[in-house]
Amino acid sequence: MLELRDVTVSYGMIDALKGISLNVQQGEIIALIGANGAGKSTTLMSISGITRLRSGQVFFEDRPLSELPPHEIVRLGISQAPEGRHIFPRMTVRENLEMGAFQREKHEFAGDIERVHDLFPTLLERSRQLGGTLSGGEQQMLSIARALMSRPRLLLLDEPSLGLAPIIVTRIFRIIREINEQGTTILLVEQNAKAALRLAHRAYVMETGKIVMQGTSAALGNDPGIKKAYLGE
């Protein structure tokens, strides 16, 4: 479904991605794990078209994406819940959701609002509250719900566990699995490797702009090197 071929990205003199290749198959949850600054978020940003590639190619359902602007990539069916949530703090929860469906008409997305309310009942309760007044966990839910409003076939999630209490993380990860089971393919970036490996089918491990290891979650979870570096065992 999604394929990155030898993608490089640089910010000025610094090479953030030094030749990344990965693929995501329809229906999968793929985790991209690694430490701070490994290039995980840059990978997602370059898939979304917000960061430009220096070389390499990104294909979505065999279409090259690298020349397309972000809004056309959203139209093709990829949407992202960016790192740090990036909700619109001075819009209500409802308005945030409507922004997520920006490219669609009102009558088209009425059903999607119901769907995300089913997934995240809290958001229905807080419908008229300003985004900025939500708690961190609720903001994360809003960010994911908003990304779902464009009806993506591929959902990019950037650190959904960032700064949240473990109990909320468990809840959000359960919902991510539910979204996947309803048919959305998911590429998940996480520092919380343990939780990510429990959720994902397969995973890639990144270090300083390169993919250093890949495999099924079970295999990676049992790898002694991974255990030592990321799982704290």
Partner 1 sequence: MGGILQFVKRNIGSAVIPLWVFILFLPFTGIGAALRMALTAGFLILLWNMAKRKVPGSFRASLRSAIAGPAERLSPFLSHARSGWAQVLLVLFLLLLPLFLSDYFRDVMTLTCMYIVLALGLNIVVGQAGLLNLGYVAFYAIGAYTYAILSTAFGISFWPGLALGAFCAAVFAALLGWPTLKLRGDYFAIVTLGLGEITRIVLNNWDKLTGGPNGISNIGRPVIAGHTFQTTLDFYYLILFIVILAVFSMNRLIRSRIGRAWIAIREDEVAAEAMGIDTFRLKLLAFVIGSAWAGLTGVFFAAKMAFVSPESFTFFESVMILCMVVLGGMGSVPGIILGALLLITLPEVFRDLQDYRMLAFGIALVLMMIFRPQGLLGTVKAGTR
Q: How big is the CA angle at 44 (ends 146 and 121), to the nearest 5 degrees?
A: 25
The two three-digit tokens of residue 45, written as one number: 């940003």
Which DSSP helix (H) or strand (E) runs through 156? strand 154-158
Task: For the CB of residue 133, give the shortest distance to partner 1 in the complex, in Å.
Answer: 7
Question: How does DSSP assign 56-69, residue by residue?
Answer: EEEEETTEE-TTS-
100 scored as a contact of partner 1 (CB under 8 A): yes
What track of x and - describes contact with partner 1 for positions 38 through 67 (by CB under 8 A)?
A: ----------x-x-----------------
What track of x and - describes contact with partner 1 for positions 142 through 181 (by CB under 8 A)?
A: ----xx--x-------------------------------
Cα 43 vs. chain centroid, distance in angstroms? 10
Q: Which stretch binds partner 1 (CB under 8 A): 34-42, 77-85, 169-177, 200-208?
A: 77-85
219 scored as a contact of partner 1 (CB under 8 A): no
Q: Which stretch binds partner 1 (CB under 8 A): 30-38, 59-67, 125-133, 186-194?
A: 125-133
Longest dimension (CA), the chain: 52
**From 57, 103, 127, 170, residue interacting with partner 1 (rule: CB under 8 A):** 103
Closest CA to 39 of 26, 25, 27, 56: 56
Q: How big is the CA angle at 110 (ends 107 and 114), to the nearest 5 degrees?
A: 170
**From 98, 201, 212, 223, residue interacting with partner 1 (rule: CB under 8 A):** 98
Task: For the CB of residue 117, give the shortest distance to partner 1 in the complex, in Å.
Answer: 19
